[in-house]
Chains A and B, each alone.
Chain A
Amino acid sequence: MASGSDYGLKRIVWKKLKDTIIADCRNSEVWKILILDPFTTKLLSSCCKMSDLMSEKITIVEDLFKNREPVLEMKAIYFMSPTAKCVDAFIADFKTKPKYKAAYVYFTDCCPDQLFNKMKMHCAKYIRVCKEINMSFMPQEAQVFTCDNPEAFKSIYSPNSQDKMKTLETIADQLVSLCATLDEYPGVRYKKDSNIENAKTLAELVDDKLAKHYELDDSGKKKGKTQAQLLIVERGFDPVSPILHELTYQAMAYDLIDIKNDTYKYKGEDGPEKEAQLTEDDQLWIQLRHKHIAEVGEQIPKLVKEIAASKKKPDGKITIANLSQMMKKMPAFRKQMTEKKVHLHLAEDCMKHYSNNVEKLCKAEQDLAVGSDVEGVKVKDAMRTLLPVLLHPYNPPDKIRAVLLYIFSLNGTTTENLNKLIQHVKIEDQQEFILNWKSLGVPIITSPSFFPRKPTRRDRSQEDTYKLSRWTPVIKDVMEDAMENKLETKEWPHVSESPAAWNGSGAVSARQKHKASSQDERRTGSRLIVFVVGGMSYSEMRCAYEVTQTVKSCEVIIGSSHILTPTSLLNDIKALSKAPMESFLIEERSNA
């Protein structure tokens, strides 16, 4: 109804909002105004539309931080984050002269005492409702969420960072709000790493906050742990996936084409530039986004045919044939046609970029990443695989990515080798692209005798893969191992005791009959929540869906502070060593 897919995070979020904010106001027959801050605007926009609000008697939506026209006849619903800026804006609405008849106040998270008391002092008499809804995460897709916080990367990994703990606390709060929204109390596990401890710290924070959150309810009962697991890993545990050239539709598109805010800009045949939203409202996007570009390409002739058919002009008299032609002109069809045209352009765009640059590059990348070539022969001399890439006039970012893959495949290289590579790629003044990876715990410079154990990967030789898509993100191995209860406690310690024998197959309750996989059923099964500190890539998001498809009884949800593209990640890595700017930053979001 509200969002494109009929299951998943967005639907859950919308339902919770309806059950709380809207249910409260439904009693009064009066129309209301909804006032949002930037975060809640984005949150609401991702899971419902204006028409959904209108049918719940909300007449207009306003921006909290803009100067608003007073409407004394109406009650206002404030849905905002508990920050000083928001509370001040709210108080200003009622301080001298009230702008609205009454206020219904909803916070996305716990409101700090100081702000709460300020509110109390100035406008308590206008407030009819004041609740804290635990929902401070952003539902990105049906099985993907983010913390909407790209700055977290620098905050956590920069050696100059002053507010790492603060950021980790904020993220922990957001994770707890996710669990609360999903009504889950998961067992928390993290990936042990000898070099950096962010996963451990975050895991402990989350577990602590979860315990306090579920401590006691009114009836004095303590909520027990549910059949869910929360796994926390760091970006450094799989540096390959976010910089590899991926060939599945969504990952490829966001890598090769400049897509900002999920908006794809293209030029239609009739001239003017058009925009398209790549969201779950587009049914065709949902179907195609995880498919390999070759399969998407196969769909194109069919799309072209359908578009051509819809363009035939009907002649004068109204015959049956003409009527069906005319029906085809209707917006329902036209919307579908527009969607098809968008994907026609997008797929062609991808292929254009691909055949220009990426094709030859991919083979070398796959060999370096997987460690063996198409036939399965192990790569003995990585430099030999890398050399053709270095000699070919690819653009510097692509070369940097190849060099990084080379280094990752060797678990670090010697200083002189590294210098030679840097010279070759001509990035002497931009060495940070490579060197700063050490801040993520990824070895860049190691001595020749240093051979750390490479993680063993699942055997996927039986799977059918495209030659240039042999690499599987490590997170997929983790998800599958977790489902089969194969994660070793030494590598993945539990923070506190987990429910007995968490088995992703959901074979716990006798109530659950094994029905054929209808999407809705999965919600009643168990959940695996994976969180990557420092950003996740589109290929990793895809894995969540793939694993859920195969293990039908457990739903995998993946999230991170934000979503990466190879370009954005490299830029962020370079910026890690920059000293913090001496400027005044207005903080949009503070923590509880």
Chain B
Amino acid sequence: MSVSVSLLHSQQLSERSECCRMRDRLTELQTFKPAEQEHRLQGEEEEDEDLAVVFEGEEVMDSVYKEAQALRKEMQLLKLDVKRLGKQNSRFLTSVRRISSIKRDSNALGRDIKSRGEALYARLQKLGRQSKDLEEEHGPASAVARMARSQCVSLNTAFHQAISEYNEAEMVQRENCKTRIQRQAEIMGREVSREQIDDMMETGKWNVFSDNLLLEGRSARSALNEIESRHRELLELEARIRDIHELFAQMALLVEEQGCMLDNIQANVGATQDYVAKATGQIKKAVQYQRKHPCRMLLCCCCPCCN
């Protein structure tokens, strides 16, 4: 039954690699020096000529990759900022002191994130336009165009994710603030529901709390202070969200238009097309052949060589 299999295994026992019981067969390949030496000599000339023909987009791709790397790095920095903001926000909730300085940092971070985000967005758009240009120049099925497009898609998705994380962080903070307000209100002996807080945010009427101040005393007063500072924080938070909202919405739309199938490997492979060598390549070859023609090089004047 499995005689052949066992022979194979016993022969290559020495080549076993330990990791995951995989077999590394590279050494077997390298012991063989075939008669391809001849082929090499023959083929080398043609190779040189063809090198000029094939893959014209090399320099372009280099710049695309450099830009993609740079953008990825920028996004990492953006994500770090978002994390820092998250930490700031939680610090604001837990410590009562120096609220003003912590607040300042949050706003500064928010502004930083916004400006970084907008710069990134502009560069992403530029890359997107470059990718479209490449598509028009080389055709959508060409390697260059596909490489550029896949870089764009993945960068857009990554950026959208980074901005979503920011949005998430601010949403969490929002809920925490509201919870704090509720708790402080309870200390004051007042029960407020979430909807009431939302209403108060909208209408700006916070006097509900301050009305009974005269009656309650010190604890109530500090609770009221808390509530007022949370309220201010919420307002600033809403302002930050509003600021970045447009960017967020644009990214979101872009990613949605991309669709999720672009991320699917099977869809990608299925969409590739058979490569058809371009006519321009053939013409270039012909020109080079002509240039290298021995008769021409000897400045021969016989009719067939003259052009």
Selecting from A131-139, A298-306, A416-424, A549-557, the interface stretch reads A131-139
A509 at interface, CB cutoff 8 A:
no
- The CA of A441 and the CA of B20, in the complex, are separated in Å by 38
- Are A73 and B61 closer than 8 Å at their CB atoms? yes
- Are A36 and B249 closer than 8 Å at their CB atoms? no
How many interface residues does chain B have, given as a range?
A: 35 or more
- The CA of A130 and the CA of B46, in the complex, are separated in Å by 28
Secondary structure type dominating chain B contacts = helix
- The CA of A389 and the CA of B18, in the complex, are separated in Å by 61
Chain A hits for B272, CB < 8 A: 61-63, 66, 68
Q: How far is the CB of A340 from chain B (nearest CB, A)?
A: 16
Partner of A50, one of B167, B238, B265: B265
Task: Give per-residue flags for B177-217: 1 if the beta carbon is below 8 A from chain A beta carbons, else 0.
Answer: 00000000000000000000010011000000000000000
- Are A321 and B202 closer than 8 Å at their CB atoms? yes
- The CA of A568 and the CA of B32, in the complex, are separated in Å by 50
Selecting from B77-85, B145-153, B297-305, the interface stretch reads B145-153
Task: Give per-residue flags for B227-265: 1 if the beta carbon is below 8 A from chain A beta carbons, else 0.
Answer: 000000000001001100100110011011000101111
- Are A50 and B198 closer than 8 Å at their CB atoms? no
A208 at interface, CB cutoff 8 A:
yes
Q: How far is the CB of A257 from chain B (nearest CB, A)?
A: 22
Chain B hits for A376, CB < 8 A: none
Q: How far is the CB of A119 from chain B (nearest CB, A)?
A: 8
Chain A hits for B1, CB < 8 A: 165, 169, 205, 208
Chain B hits for A128, CB < 8 A: 26
Task: Give per-residue flags for B1-16: 1 if the beta carbon is below 8 A from chain A beta carbons, else 0.
Answer: 1100110110001001
Contacts known (A16-B20, A73-B55, A318-B242); A121 close to B34, Cβ less than 8 A: yes
- Are A72 and B51 closer than 8 Å at their CB atoms? yes
- Are B150 and A45 closer than 8 Å at their CB atoms? no
- Are A219 and B266 closer than 8 Å at their CB atoms? no
CB-contacts of B83-109 with A (<8 A):
none
Q: How far is the CB of B21 from chain A (nearest CB, A)?
A: 6
A92 at interface, CB cutoff 8 A:
no
- Are A50 and B154 closer than 8 Å at their CB atoms? yes
Q: How far is the CB of B150 from chain A (nearest CB, A)?
A: 6
- Are B36 and A125 closer than 8 Å at their CB atoms? yes
Partner of A323, one of B2, B50, B143, B245: B245
How many interface residues does chain A have, given as a range?
A: 35 or more
- Are A120 and B28 closer than 8 Å at their CB atoms? yes
- Are B157 and A130 closer than 8 Å at their CB atoms? no
- Are A45 and B265 closer than 8 Å at their CB atoms? yes
- The CA of A169 and the CA of B6, in the complex, are separated in Å by 13
- Are A215 and B9 closer than 8 Å at their CB atoms? yes
Q: How far is the CB of B224 from chain A (nearest CB, A)?
A: 22
Chain A hits for B248, CB < 8 A: 330
Task: Give per-residue flags for A38-76: 1 if the beta carbon is below 8 A from chain B beta carbons, else 0.
Answer: 000110110011110111000111110011111111000
- The CA of A273 and the CA of B198, in the complex, are separated in Å by 40
Nearest to B24 among chain A residues (CB) is A131
B54 at interface, CB cutoff 8 A:
yes
Partner of B264, one of A49, A119, A326, A332: A49
- The CA of A116 and the CA of B275, in the complex, are separated in Å by 27
Nearest to A37 among chain B residues (CB) is B269
CB-contacts of B114-164 with A (<8 A):
142-143, 146-147, 150-151, 153-154, 157-158, 160, 164
- Are B252 and A330 closer than 8 Å at their CB atoms? yes
A454 at interface, CB cutoff 8 A:
no
- The CA of A330 and the CA of B252, in the complex, are separated in Å by 6
- Are A97 and B46 closer than 8 Å at their CB atoms? yes
- The CA of A49 and the CA of B157, in the complex, are separated in Å by 12
B111 at interface, CB cutoff 8 A:
no
- The CA of A62 and the CA of B270, in the complex, are separated in Å by 9
Q: How far is the CB of B133 from chain A (nearest CB, A)?
A: 18
Contacts known (A62-B269, A97-B43); A67 close to B150, Cβ less than 8 A: no
Chain A hits for B238, CB < 8 A: 320, 323
Chain A hits for B201, CB < 8 A: 320
Chain B hits for A121, CB < 8 A: 32, 34
- The CA of A332 and the CA of B50, in the complex, are separated in Å by 48
- The CA of A72 and the CA of B52, in the complex, are separated in Å by 11
- The CA of A215 and the CA of B8, in the complex, are separated in Å by 13
A286 at interface, CB cutoff 8 A:
no
Q: How far is the CB of B264 from chain A (nearest CB, A)?
A: 6
Q: How far is the CB of B267 from chain A (nearest CB, A)?
A: 8
A460 at interface, CB cutoff 8 A:
no
B112 at interface, CB cutoff 8 A:
no
- Are A111 and B25 closer than 8 Å at their CB atoms? yes
Contacts known (A61-B268, A321-B202, A326-B245); A212 close to B25, Cβ less than 8 A: no
Q: How far is the CB of A51 from chain B (nearest CB, A)?
A: 5
Contacts known (A50-B150, A121-B32); A131 close to B55, Cβ less than 8 A: no
Partner of A132, one of B5, B23, B265: B23
B63 at interface, CB cutoff 8 A:
no
A334 at interface, CB cutoff 8 A:
yes
A259 at interface, CB cutoff 8 A:
no
- Are B6 and A133 closer than 8 Å at their CB atoms? no
Q: Which residue, B20, B55, B142, B198, has most C-beta atoms of chain A within 10 A?
A: B20
Task: Give per-residue flags for A209-240: 1 if the beta carbon is below 8 A from chain B beta carbons, else 0.
Answer: 10011111111000000000000000000000
- The CA of A122 and the CA of B32, in the complex, are separated in Å by 10
Nearest to B9 among chain A residues (CB) is A212
Chain A hits for B260, CB < 8 A: 335
Q: How far is the CB of B299 from chain A (nearest CB, A)?
A: 32
Partner of B21, one of A68, A124, A213, A330: A213
B289 at interface, CB cutoff 8 A:
no
- The CA of A330 and the CA of B256, in the complex, are separated in Å by 9
Chain A hits for B280, CB < 8 A: none
Q: How far is the CB of B86 from chain A (nearest CB, A)?
A: 18
Partner of B55, one of A53, A63, A72, A326: A72
Q: Which residue, A33, A42, A44, A60, has most C-beta atoms of chain B within 10 A?
A: A60
Chain A hits for B17, CB < 8 A: 131, 218
- The CA of A592 and the CA of B167, in the complex, are separated in Å by 53
- The CA of A323 and the CA of B272, in the complex, are separated in Å by 42
Contacts known (A68-B275, A131-B22); A51 close to B154, Cβ less than 8 A: yes
A96 at interface, CB cutoff 8 A:
yes
29 A-B residue pairs with Cβ-Cβ distance under 8 Å, sorted by A, are A20-B19, A44-B265, A45-B266, A53-B265, A63-B270, A66-B275, A68-B143, A68-B275, A70-B55, A72-B51, A97-B46, A111-B25, A124-B32, A134-B20, A180-B21, A205-B2, A208-B1, A208-B2, A212-B5, A216-B16, A217-B16, A218-B16, A319-B202, A320-B198, A320-B202, A326-B249, A330-B249, A331-B256, A592-B8
Residues of A within 8 A of B (CB): 16, 19-20, 31, 33, 36, 41-42, 44-45, 48-51, 53-55, 59-63, 66-73, 96-97, 110-113, 116, 119-122, 124-125, 127-134, 165, 169, 180-181, 183, 205, 208-209, 212-219, 318-321, 323, 326-327, 330-332, 334-335, 592
If A130-B29, A132-B23, A209-B2 are given as contacts, then 15 extra A-B residue pairs at C-beta distance below 8 Å, sorted by A number, are: A20-B20, A31-B147, A45-B269, A50-B150, A68-B275, A73-B61, A119-B29, A120-B29, A125-B36, A130-B28, A133-B22, A216-B13, A330-B164, A330-B248, A332-B252
The 3 A-B pairs with the shortest beta carbon distances in the complex, nearest first, are A45-B266, A45-B265, A67-B274
